[in-house]
Structure 1
Amino acid sequence: MTDSLLRTRDGHHARVGFVELFFDLVFVFAVTQISHSLLHHLTWEGAIHAAMMAAAVWWSWIYTSWVTNWADPERVPVRVALFVLMGLGLLMSTSLPEAFTEKGLWFAVAFVATSMVRSGFMLFAARDNAMLKRNFLRIIIWQIFSGVFWIAGGLMEGEWRVGLWLAALFIEYISPAMFYRVPGLGRANTAEWTVEGGHMAERVGLFVIICLGESLLITGATFAEATWTPEVIAAAAVAFVGTLAMWWIYFSAAHEAASEVISKASDPGTLARRAYTYCPILIVAGIIVTAVGDELSLVHPTGHVEPAVAAVLIGGPLLFMIGGLLAKLAVFERWSIPRVAGCVALAALWLAAPFVMPLGLAALTTAVLIAVAGWETWSLRTA
Structure 2
Amino acid sequence: MAADNSRGAMFRVIVPNQHSRVTNVELFFDLVFVFAVTQVSHTLLHHFTPLGAVHVTVLFLAVWWVWVYTAWVTNWLNPELTPVRVMLFLMMLGGLVLSTTIPTAFEGRGLWFAIAYAAMQIGRTAFWLFATPRHRTAVRHNAIRILTWLAISAVLWIAGGLSEDETRLWLWIAAVAWEYVSPAVRFWVPKLGFSSVEAWAVEGGHMAERCSLFVIIALGEAVVVNGATFAELDWTADNIMAFVSALVGAIAMWWVYFHKGAEAGSERISKSTESGRLARLAYTYLHTPIIAGIILTAVSDELVLKHPTGHSDVRTIVSTIGGPLVFLIGTILFKHAIRGFLQLSHGIGIMLLLLLWWFAAGLPPLWLSVATTVIMIIVAVWESVSLGADREEAKEH
TM-score range for the pair, normalised by the shorter chain length: over 0.9
| Match in the other structure for 1:16 | 22
Match in the other structure for 2:394 = none
Counterpart position of 1:361: 368
1:207 aligns with 2:219: no
Contact conserved, 1:192 with 1:267, CA < 8 A, in 2? no
State which of 58, 61, 74 in structure 1 corresponds to 2:64.
58
Written as runs of structure 1 = structure 2, the 5 A alignment for 1:184-223 is 184-223=191-230
SS in 1 for 2:10: coil
RMSD: 0.9
Q: Does 1:121 align with 2:127?
A: yes
**In the alignment, does 2:166 pair up with 1:155?**
no
Alignment of 1:56-135 (within 5 A): 56-128=62-134, 129-135=136-142
Q: 1:38 corresponds to which residue?
A: 44
**CA displacement, residues 206-253 of structure 1 (integer Å, 9 cap, x when unaligned):** 001011001111000100001100001000000000000000011022
- Structure 2 CA distance for aligned equivalents of residues 176 and 134 of structure 1: 14
TM-score, scaled to structure 1: 0.98
Equivalent residue, structure 1, for 2:2: 2
Partner of 1:258, secondary structure, is helix
Contact 2:297-2:323 within 8 A present in 1 as well: yes
Deviation at 1:332, TM superposition (A): 1.8
Amino acid paired to 2:10: L
Query: Which residue of structure 2 aligns with residue 288 of structure 1?
Result: 295
Decide whether the 8 Å contact of 1:318 with 1:346 is kept in 2.
yes
Whether 1:320 and 2:338 are equivalent positions in the alignment is: no
The runs of 5 or more residues in structure 2 that have no matched partner are 4-8, 391-397
Instruction: Give, as a single letter, the amino acid of the residue that structure 2 aligns with 1:318.
Output: L
Deviation of 1:186 after TM superposition, in Å, equals 1.0
Task: Using the TM superposition, give the Cα deviation of residue 8 of structure 1 relative to its aligned residue in structure 2, in angstroms.
Answer: 1.4
Structure 2 Cα separation of the partners of residues 352 and 365 of structure 1: 12
How far apart are 1:9 and its partner, in Å? Answer: 1.5
Residue 189 of structure 2 is matched in structure 1 by 182
> For each residue in 1:116-147, what CA deviation from the matched residue of structure 2 results, as whole angstroms up to 9, or x when unmatched?
11001000111242222110110000000111
Segments of 4+ moved more than 4 angstroms: none
Mean Cα displacement is larger for which, 183-192 or 10-19? 183-192
Give the superposition deviation at 1:61: 0.2
1:310 matched to which residue of 2? Answer: 317
Q: Provide the aligned length of Structure 1 versus Structure 2.
A: 383
Amino acid at match of 1:335: L
Q: 1:29-59 CA deviation, whole Å, 9 max, x = no partner?
A: 0000010011111111111111111100000
* Identity rate, percent: 51
The DSSP-based 3-state class of the residue aligned with 1:21 is helix
- Cα deviation for residue 381 of structure 1 reads 1.6
Could you tell me whether the CA contact under 8 Å between 2:264 and 2:338 is conserved in 1?
no
Name the amino acid aligned to 1:30.
A
CA contact (8 A) 2:249 2:373 kept: yes
CA distance in 2, matches of 1:300, 1:137: 52
Aligned to 2:237: 230
Per the TM alignment, residue 354 of structure 1 is displaced from its structure 2 partner at its CA by 2.0
Quote the residue 1:140 is aligned against. 147
Aligned residue type for 1:269: G
1:26 partner letter: V
- The Cα shift of 1:305 comes to 0.7
Structure 2 counterpart of 1:252, one-letter code: H
Partner of 2:393: none
Runs of 5+ unmatched residues, structure 1: none
Indicate if the aligned counterparts of 2:142 and 2:199 stay in contact, CA closer than 8 A. Answer: no
**Structure 2 Cα separation of the partners of residues 290 and 260 of structure 1:** 29
TM-superposed deviation, 1:254:
2.5
Report the Cα offset of residue 260 of structure 1. Answer: 1.6
| 1:246-257 equivalences in 2 (<5 Å) | 246-257=253-264
Taking the aligned partners of 1:192 and 1:136, their CA distance within structure 2 comes to 9
1:307 alignment partner AA: V
Q: TM-score, normalised by structure 2?
A: 0.95
